[in-house]
Amino acid sequence: MITSLGPAQFHLLLVGTLWTLALSTVGFLFGGLGGLAVALCRTCGLMALERFAAAFIEIFRGTPLLLQLFIVYYGIGLLNISMSPWIAVSIAFTFHASAVLGEIWRGSIESIPRGQTEAAKALGIHYCFRMRYIILPQALKISLPPTIGFLVQLIKGTSLAAIIGFTELSRTGTLLSNITYRPLLIYAIVGLIYFIICWPLSRLGRAMERRLSPVISQ
Amino acid sequence: MPATVDSQTAILMNGVNKYFGGFHALKNINFTVGNGERIVLCGPSGSGKSTLVRCINQLESVQSGTIVVDGIDLTAGGKNIDAVRMEIGMVFQQFNLFPHMTVLENCMLAPLRVRGVSRDEARATARRVLGRVKIGDHAEKYPAQLSGGQQQRVAIARALCMNPKIMLFDEPTSALDPEMVKEVLDTMISLAAGGMTMVCVTHEMGFARAVADRVVFMADGEIVEEASPEQFFFAPTHKRTQAFLGQLLVN
């Protein structure tokens, strides 16, 4: 049976879009928290923690996201824990984003001149306050453009979650093209939706880069 | 002869050795600074003078020897280091101001977060001290909006806001344009006149003559000569010192 493209189908696309946004948000928020922890471990000066964080980053940046999705999904299945695809993909994206954001933020933390850390130490300012008031405000500002760049990657990357049966925007598109037999039209619409979400973010990232460059060069 | 600590001793270093990898940066340093004393440390580059002052507030750790500051043994580490850092102000060659904070915020941060004073008190102290280094009009500006000399005076003010007992200066005028050196030296001279205990790494010999109680000359990680400014400049005993002073005169 061939279904035409009507309001019901657009409603399905909207639901798919919302799942894509939900997964992106969860991945970015939890990945942001994890990434901050990874970046702080990576720069803390304690050898064991730094190595652990480095290994975490290398493993998740050195393997395909698709593979990470498979391993989390089937790996947890092996533990006899029943888990919805939603939880599995959320976990996988959180780990992935933690590693990438951790590496981006490590770079920005290390780009703050050492003299500022020394000045803070000389004033008796402890590690937590040093990070909270001196290093992180500057580092996070520097890292905004690449962070937004990664967010765009992450949103597009959520389409991989379709493979393990998570019905986000791409998978909704596939399902619709199967019942309407109009794959080109459907995928064009799906592509347009991704573009509408990602393009403003890309623009924002580039605008920030321009605005921040004089600050960094001073 | 190992020196002992009494209530008149601000800083005591006894048999201190410091290595950077295989490089022996400080060799068996014995060095004492009394309360209210002003010391000028000089010597050729690489002689260990910066390393020595950085050991006093433990920005550098040492491999052996004892360092006692304000009666607190630093070699015991941990909490003692934090306690001592609160009492020692430090001024760096590169100013090291926090660029994302205004001048006033730079001066308020440590009193707020380390001493735990109220915001009003921190602000009042900062304004008073900024006035004292004659930079009160610039309190709301960011460091990048100030000249090098102004930035260094802010850095001095930032350290003073913690009400330290000792001030360390690590080549505070070396990164400045010549016309700005005087304003920073004048600030340091007025600080000395107020009775502050000071250890200054500097090659400003005019400053050394004006305020130093003692000039300490270092070479190759050792203290080669310690003398009053008159004796140091006009009757140096050691060959290395004579050669160094000869170089200064040529320049």
Mean pLDDT across the stretch B16-37?
A: 95
What is the structure's pLDDT at A218?
40
Number of domains making up chain A:
1
Mean pLDDT to the nearest integer, B198-219: 93
Asked if the structure places residue A49 within a domain, the reply is yes
Phi, psi (rounded to 5 degrees) for B48: 100, 5
Mean pLDDT in residue range B189-199: 94
CA–CA distance, B158 with B192 (Å, rounded to integer): 17
Nearest chain A Cα distance for residue B230, angstroms? 33
Judged by DSSP in three states, B61 sits in coil
The answer as to whether A76 is a domain residue is: yes
For residues B8-37, average pLDDT = 94
Which helix H or strand E contains A11, and what residues bound it? helix A7-42
Give residue B213's identity as a one-letter amino acid code. Answer: D
B residues 131-150 lying closer than 8 A (beta carbon) to A: 144
Q: What's the pLDDT at B250?
A: 64
In a domain, A218, yes or no: no
pLDDT tens digits for B89-146?
999 999 999 999 999 999 999 999 999 999 999 999 999 999 999 999 999 999 999 9
CB contact under 8 A, A125 and B113: yes
**A119/B90 CB distance under 8 A:** yes
Q: Is A215 a domain residue?
A: no
Q: Is a pLDDT exceeding 80 seen at residue B78? A: no
Position A57 in a domain: yes
How many Å apart are CA B219 and CA A171, to the nearest integer? 73
Q: Is the dihedral of CA B221, B52, B43, B233 positive or negative?
A: negative
Q: How confident is the model at residue B1 (pLDDT cuts 50, 70, 90)?
A: very low
Per-residue confidence (pLDDT) for residue B80, from 0 to 100: 85
Sign of CA dihedral B145, B149, B150, B155: positive
Question: What pLDDT shows up at residue A213?
Answer: 61
- What are the pLDDT digits (tens) for B142-175? 999 999 999 999 999 999 999 999 999 999 999 9
Q: Give the structural domain span for A71.
A: 7-210
Residue A2 resides in a domain: no
Q: For tokens 């992935």, what's the residue?
A: A96
- A81 found inside a domain: yes
Identify the pLDDT of residue A206: 87
Question: What pairs with residue B66 in β-bridges?
Answer: B14
Residues lower than pLDDT 70 in chain A: 1-2, 213-218
A-chain residue closest to B84, CA distance: A124
Asked if residue A12 belongs to a domain, the reply is yes
CA dist B217 and B235 (Å) reads: 13
Inter-chain CB pairs, A–B, below 8 Å: 62
What whole-number percentage of chain B has pLDDT above 70? 97
DSSP calls for A19-33? HHHHHHHHHHHHHHH
Instruction: Report the predicted TM-score, pTM, of the whole model to 2 decimal places.
Output: 0.87
Residue B79 has a pLDDT of 82
Backbone angles phi, psi at B183, to 5 degrees: -60, -35
Find the helix packing angle between B148-160 and B119-132, rounded to 10°.
130
The complex's ipTM? 0.91
Q: Which residues of A1-36 are buried (b: 16+ CB within 10 A; e: fewer)?
A: eeeeeeeebeebbeebbebbeebbebbbebbbebbb
Please give the Cα distance from A110 to A146 (Å, whole number). Answer: 15
pLDDT of residue B5: 66
Q: Under an 8 A CB cutoff, do A125 and B110 touch?
A: yes
Give the distance from residue A143's alpha carbon to the nearest chain B alpha carbon, in angstroms: 15
Instruction: Measure CB to CB from residue A118 to each of B96, B97, B100 and give the nearest one.
Output: B96
Sequence-separated (6 or more) residues with CB below 8 Å from residue B152: B91, B95, B172, B173, B176, B180, B184
Domain harbouring A150, CATH code? 1.10.3720.10
Q: How many CA atoms lie within 13 A of B146 on its CB side?
A: 26
Average pLDDT of every residue of chain B? 92
